[in-house]
Amino acid sequence: MSSALNLLAAELKPAAVEFCQRLIRVPALPGEEKGVADLYLAEMEKLGYDEVFRDSWGNVVGIIRGTQPGPTIMYNAHLDHVEPGDPAEWFGYDPYGAVIDVDLMENQDRTGLEPAEVIHGRAAADVKGGGACQIYAGALLLKLRGQGREIAGNFMFSGVVLEEPAEQLGMTKLISETLPARGLDYDGVVSCEATSLKLYLGHRGRVELQVTIEGVTSHGSAPWLGINAVNKATAFIDRVEQVVAAEAQKDEKLGHSSIALTIINCTPGSMCIVPDRCQITYDRRMVPGETAEGCVAQIQAVINELAAKDKDFRARVEIAAVPRTSYTGLTATIPNVKQAWKIDPSHAFVQAAANGLAGLGQPVKYGYWDFGTDLSVICGRDKKPAVGYSPMQEFYCHRPIDKVRTDYMEQAIAGNAAIFLELVKLPKEWFVLA
């Protein structure tokens, strides 16, 4: 079977590469994903998926049903991407050009460079290269089924909206509203976020914190008549850095908790008015055992400490939550929280995925993301098992050197299919994240 999968992947590679190029050529900023959603739907219909639909939020789903009962494995991508930035920084490539050429690329373990054919363009590495491979892994399964092979379970592809803003709105709406309304469920997930053909097993959590420090306005010529909120913020900023560093938790695999000041604003914002409000946004990363509520409490303790020393210090902290509108016109507000999660390499779900790759002759290596993914919803909230597996490399995500290796894409088509064929052998009661 392994040789058959590799041969079929080689046969499907040109179509998958061309599909990836078409995806890259269509901009899909958050809330503007319709064009890419349409491409995914049309491709799945063309390939013969058994069921294809778009939900009210704009998420797209395709299902391939097996010939025998078994678990449903969701293969997941997101439809949106980040801004391309300044085109002048793209070394002569059009961010939406999807040009193919040979370039020097980091090898799988980032220990050296090697020449490889690549597709250039925004979202090639996050995550259109991986999404194209998942779609064509489904095409491979359809070919096997058409040849008379018995296939257990169901292959489900999901492309979700609004992943990049980090509230996980699309994924949350898909699994909490869309799937139950259609009588559908899933047992485990394979994400196509960048993994360099490794199996990724977790990442830190994230909470976006907003701190508002209040003062009193006065004329810039008489600052003693006001309370400068920005001046008050300086002591606060320094103290937060000290406290989080001193209380940082560490996970052997995921690293340590951290905080980064990402945005600072003040009002009224006039050259001659002492600001009465300073708003600070923090990106707080969490390891397992930490919670968003605990992160809020940590900042509140700093506020309380400074307020006890300074009668004029007034501040509040809250979890950021802003309305997001999908391209279908629906709007929702979800707190910007991602739970930390990891799955043990010994878990049956991981071992089945590893067996699938090993059977193809692909090296089995494990890793963990530096960034967050929608798997926080799957593993953190639903407590269902998941892994990441894709051809893209994390090093190239969100950068003007955004690209994906086509040789890795061929391997990923076979790898995704092999992972599925092993996962559906597991009893459904084993699909639990301990």
3-state SS, one letter per residue, for 98-111: CCEEEEEEECCCCC
Confidence of residue 364 (pLDDT cuts 50, 70, 90): very high
pLDDT computed for residue 108 by the predictor = 96
Domain ranges of the chain: 2-203+340-430, 205-323
Q: What percent of the chain has pLDDT over 90?
A: 97
Q: What pLDDT does residue 433 have? A: 87
Alpha-carbon distances, residue 116 vs 119, 364, 405 (angstroms): 10, 21, 6
pLDDT tens sequence across 226-270: 999 999 999 999 999 999 999 999 999 999 999 999 999 999 999
pLDDT at 2 exceeding the cut of 90:
no
Evaluate if residue 166 carries a pLDDT over 90.
no
Buried b (16+ CB within 10 A) or exposed e, 329-360: eeebebebbbbbbbbeeebebbebbbbbbebb
Whether 2-203+340-430 shares its CATH topology with 205-323 is answered no
Q: What is the dihedral of CA 55, 79, 323, 373, to 10 degrees?
A: 110
pLDDT for residue 55 is more than 80: yes
Architecture of the domain spanning 2-203+340-430: 3-Layer(aba) Sandwich (3.40)
> Which residue is associated with the tokens 């508002």?
212
CATH number for the region 205-323 comes to 3.30.70.360
CB 386 within 8 A of CB 375: yes
Report d(CA 390, CA 294) in Å as an integer: 33
- Contact 275/268 with Cβ under 8 angstroms? yes
Identify whether the C-beta of residue 404 lies closer than 8 Å to the C-beta of residue 205.
Answer: no
Q: Mean pLDDT over all residues of the chain?
A: 96
In the chain, count of helices (H) and strands (E)? 10, 21
Tell me what pLDDT residue 434 has.
73
Radius of gyration of the chain (CA): 24
**Coil, helix or strand for 288?**
coil
Q: List pLDDT tens digits, range 120-155.
A: 999 999 999 999 999 999 999 999 999 999 999 999
